[in-house]
Chain A
């Protein structure tokens, strides 16, 4: 636990609360220097070999400053390579640990294989594709590493409302997968998917709750400063109660997140529950935050809208609440005989 506090302190020092969305390039280098790119990589592969607690603490702090650096897709990409039996595994692990970027996509892909074995279609939800040395994607034949610039590989940015991040579509047009860059085949793909999904849900949940806490802090600070009717608006009980509910939602989701961080028996759907509850809490908090800021909350100039936009995107990444609530309902119904 002491280690965790040290990690959080270091993160807050490197990424101070006052600076929202610091430069992508500088953040990436700083994260690499701090060893965060290989925080989950086993020690025998040259990583720090830290557990889920450590990455959760880091993503929480990155959410707090609306980080622009794509640490979540990078961690998942590296995780996929590390868990694979790829022929060029150690070469790529070294490159990624050294600061090169190979993201996993956080939205579903729409791909088809030709009879000749080439792959065409679109991989959605790729963060900062123009920074990437390679991409990790689930192809019809299993998970693969796709070098950026390989024949048949292109990407284009799709502008999103959330300006703290950048999303790209990766387009494959007759891409011929390289057998030396195959991570796992179709048989092992579901297991790797579940492994990565668990990591992704925890990371996104942490991002949501860090950012939600920062949005709440900002809102309360504003309410204490803003005076109307001769008193700070934070004194009005009607508004206080809303702030209390915002805090309660964050604390409740945090409890589920940390339970799931430590619960190694949880199903994929139970891991998704942590992300669902956290993303919904984040969205609800930011929805209230804009209202409680009043007119200034509608201006581009005030940063509170940036939290709301990140929240709305986070709701959609790795499965929407509708998707996971239904799955959780089915799973519980099957289990509760």
Chain B
């Protein structure tokens, strides 16, 4: 899709801003997680001020009211300028926003949305040890006592919960009937008594996710989103919030990082190795295709066209390309990559190939595993029959 004059103007405006203000040395400054968090907070504040942090919010918020086409321009430019991705505020500006905007009360919206712009961060308390791909199987219990729900249980894979002020929490208020029907959606204060958080040490040394333990945490009934027992529908709004922009941004970033593989080929003197050239060529084609796919998906969405399963194909295509990218780097790096090197927080294409390879699993597992996406493609797009629901072992 070619830019209209209005989009072209926005593009130059964003480019000019980034030329002056894009952080330059954020990778080197993100060797420790505390530095990463500080960088994230500062960059988010800078983007809020410039009006580029929340283009998808309504126009009543400064920087909001942008069309999907305009959002796409902003994200394209952020990716091309190799700025840090907004990871710390991601759940706040997308998931918390979409949930409150679509399902929250007027009072909840007025209380929480402005605070997000001031830097309040949210995490998501959805997955549990026994409820991953099968999210509706959650067991965290909430019992209503007067004006509060008393909540006990455990949440896991909560992105950056250790830094969050608030939590989007799915709880079970009933065990009767269909498992989806007993789920309620609450907004929890992470500083409430009974909440404890433990960071999860990942295989590459990062701590992007955390576990949340809930021990008789009292949450006011006024912090419920939607009706009791109707939380599953609210959760769908949360999960549908992000609309393909992230994968487009990540695909462009991966294309921008192909130069790392090229440098590695030269560094190891493999420029005339035809096997290496073929593998590199095939990777460039795959990455180009993923960029084209993410673009096409968004352009279709802008035009109001989306088939069931499209988003799953985009996600699987990106995550496989990311795996192929990091594996080629790892292979070309050879033994060098087996010596531990410092990692960079918050980036998927760092050039620390062992770390990047391990990190690539985040994309085949998180946000609906590759296998769940395949089920969605097969059942909803190809109309293949579901397995019988009633069998259990």
Q: Which residue of A is nearest B294, CB measured?
A: A255
Contact: B280 with A248, CB < 8 Å?
no
The answer for the CA separation of A105 and B279 in the assembled complex, in Å, is 29
Contact: A247 with B281, CB < 8 Å?
no
Contact: B285 with A256, CB < 8 Å?
yes
Chain B residues closer than 8 Å to A220, beta-carbon distance: 382-384
Q: Which residue of B is nearest A323, CB measured?
A: B278
Chain B residues closer than 8 Å to A241, beta-carbon distance: 371, 374-375, 378
Chain B residues closer than 8 Å to A45, beta-carbon distance: none
Q: Is B167 an interface residue (CB 8 A)?
A: no
Count residues of A near B (Cβ-Cβ below 8 Å): 40
Chain A residues closer than 8 Å to B59, beta-carbon distance: none
The answer for the CA separation of A270 and B281 in the assembled complex, in Å, is 10
With A247-B313, A333-B277: A258-B296 Cβ-Cβ less than 8 Å: yes
Q: Contact flags (1/0) for B235-263 with A, using CB distance below 8 Å? A: 00000000000000000000000110011
Q: Is A237 an interface residue (CB 8 A)?
A: yes
CB within 8 Å of B: which A263-321 residues:
270, 273, 276-277, 321
Contact: B374 with A244, CB < 8 Å?
yes
> A100 to nearest B CB, angstroms?
37
Chain B residues closer than 8 Å to A245, beta-carbon distance: 374
Q: Contact flags (1/0) for B350-371 with A, using CB distance below 8 Å? A: 0000000000000000000001
Chain A residues closer than 8 Å to B40, beta-carbon distance: none
Contact: A259 with B384, CB < 8 Å?
no
Q: Contact flags (1/0) for A175-197 with B, using CB distance below 8 Å? A: 00000000000000000000000
> B386 to nearest A CB, angstroms?
7
Chain B residues closer than 8 Å to A327, beta-carbon distance: 281
B384 in complex: contacting residue of A223, A248, A270, A326, CB < 8 Å? A223
B377 in complex: contacting residue of A247, A321, A328, A330, CB < 8 Å? A247
Q: Contact flags (1/0) for B128-159 with A, using CB distance below 8 Å? A: 00000000000000000000000000000000
Chain B residues closer than 8 Å to A243, beta-carbon distance: 378, 382, 384
Q: Is A226 an interface residue (CB 8 A)?
A: no
Question: How many residue pairs bridge A and B at CB < 8 Å?
Answer: 127
The answer for the CA separation of A225 and B334 in the assembled complex, in Å, is 49
> B126 to nearest A CB, angstroms?
24
Chain B residues closer than 8 Å to A223, beta-carbon distance: 384
Chain A residues closer than 8 Å to B276, beta-carbon distance: 329
Q: Is B284 an interface residue (CB 8 A)?
A: yes
With A333-B262, A333-B277: A255-B378 Cβ-Cβ less than 8 Å: no
B296 in complex: contacting residue of A231, A255, A325, A328, CB < 8 Å? A255
> B382 to nearest A CB, angstroms?
5
B277 in complex: contacting residue of A231, A252, A273, A326, CB < 8 Å? A326
The answer for the CA separation of A326 and B383 in the assembled complex, in Å, is 38
Q: Is B292 an interface residue (CB 8 A)?
A: yes
A256 in complex: contacting residue of B288, B310, B387, CB < 8 Å? B288
Specify which of A247, A252, A276 lies most central, judged by the most chain B CB atoms within 10 Å of its CB: A252
Q: Is A253 an interface residue (CB 8 A)?
A: yes
Contact: B374 with A325, CB < 8 Å?
no
Contact: A329 with B384, CB < 8 Å?
no
Count residues of B near A (Cβ-Cβ below 8 Å): 44
With A248-B377, A251-B313, A325-B278: A224-B285 Cβ-Cβ less than 8 Å: no
With A235-B386, A244-B375: A332-B280 Cβ-Cβ less than 8 Å: yes
Q: Is A234 an interface residue (CB 8 A)?
A: yes
Contact: A328 with B384, CB < 8 Å?
no
Contact: A237 with B375, CB < 8 Å?
yes
Q: Is B316 an interface residue (CB 8 A)?
A: yes
Q: Is A2 an interface residue (CB 8 A)?
A: no
Chain B residues closer than 8 Å to A251, beta-carbon distance: 293, 310, 313, 317
B278 in complex: contacting residue of A248, A326, A331, CB < 8 Å? A326
Q: Is B282 an interface residue (CB 8 A)?
A: yes
The answer for the CA separation of A270 and B387 in the assembled complex, in Å, is 42
> A240 to nearest B CB, angstroms?
4
Contact: A256 with B289, CB < 8 Å?
yes
Q: Is A324 an interface residue (CB 8 A)?
A: yes
Q: Is A232 an interface residue (CB 8 A)?
A: yes
Contact: A240 with B281, CB < 8 Å?
no
Chain A residues closer than 8 Å to B271, beta-carbon distance: 333
Contact: A240 with B374, CB < 8 Å?
yes
Specify which of B263, B296, B313 lies most central, judged by the most chain A CB atoms within 10 Å of its CB: B313
Chain B residues closer than 8 Å to A325, beta-carbon distance: 277-279, 281-282, 285
Q: Is B199 an interface residue (CB 8 A)?
A: no
Chain B residues closer than 8 Å to A259, beta-carbon distance: 288, 292, 295-296
Contact: A247 with B289, CB < 8 Å?
no
Q: Is B191 an interface residue (CB 8 A)?
A: no
Chain A residues closer than 8 Å to B375, beta-carbon distance: 237, 240-241, 244
The answer for the CA separation of A192 and B265 in the assembled complex, in Å, is 34
Contact: B289 with A277, CB < 8 Å?
yes
Q: Is B385 an interface residue (CB 8 A)?
A: yes
Chain A residues closer than 8 Å to B378, beta-carbon distance: 240-241, 243-244
Q: Which residue of B is nearest A232, CB measured?
A: B385
Contact: B296 with A329, CB < 8 Å?
no
Chain A residues closer than 8 Å to B295, beta-carbon distance: 255, 259
Q: Contact flags (1/0) for B379-393 with A, using CB distance below 8 Å? A: 101111111000000
Specify which of A234, A241, A247, A255 lies most central, judged by the most chain B CB atoms within 10 Å of its CB: A255
Chain B residues closer than 8 Å to A330, beta-carbon distance: 277, 281
The answer for the CA separation of A328 and B387 in the assembled complex, in Å, is 43
Q: Is B274 an interface residue (CB 8 A)?
A: yes
Contact: A336 with B313, CB < 8 Å?
no
Give me the interface of A with B, judged by CB distance under 8 Å.
220, 223-224, 231-232, 234-235, 237, 240-241, 243-245, 247-248, 251-253, 255-256, 258-259, 270, 273, 276-277, 321-322, 324-333, 336-337
14 contacts between A and B (CB under 8 A): A232-B385, A235-B384, A240-B375, A241-B371, A244-B382, A248-B316, A252-B290, A322-B278, A325-B281, A325-B285, A329-B278, A329-B284, A332-B280, A337-B262
